[in-house]
Amino acid sequence: LNCNSFVATPSTSTPAPLEDGDGKYKLIGLVSHIGKNTGSGHYVAHLKKNDKWVIFNDEKVAISEQPPIPHAYLYLFQRLDSVESPNTKY
């Protein structure tokens, strides 16, 4: 997933290079809301496990056939280029 389109930078400046690379990420989870509005209903988590989405709804856990990715309140990403190879400078 390329997150560059979500980063606000002034159009007249050139973004500074990152010390530890560009960073590549994949979506591994999200939090969404079930209910008519934020005053009613509750929040649930959708996590990706073995290339399948799983919904965690209180005590119920099931396969999430169509996770509401565009409508989530919180997204969880995993950085791909640092998994199993941490940057020793930090």
Task: Show which residues are catalytic.
Answer: 42
d(CA 79, CA 28): 10
Q: Is 23 exposed, middle or buried (0-12, 13-18, 19+ CB in 10 A)?
A: middle
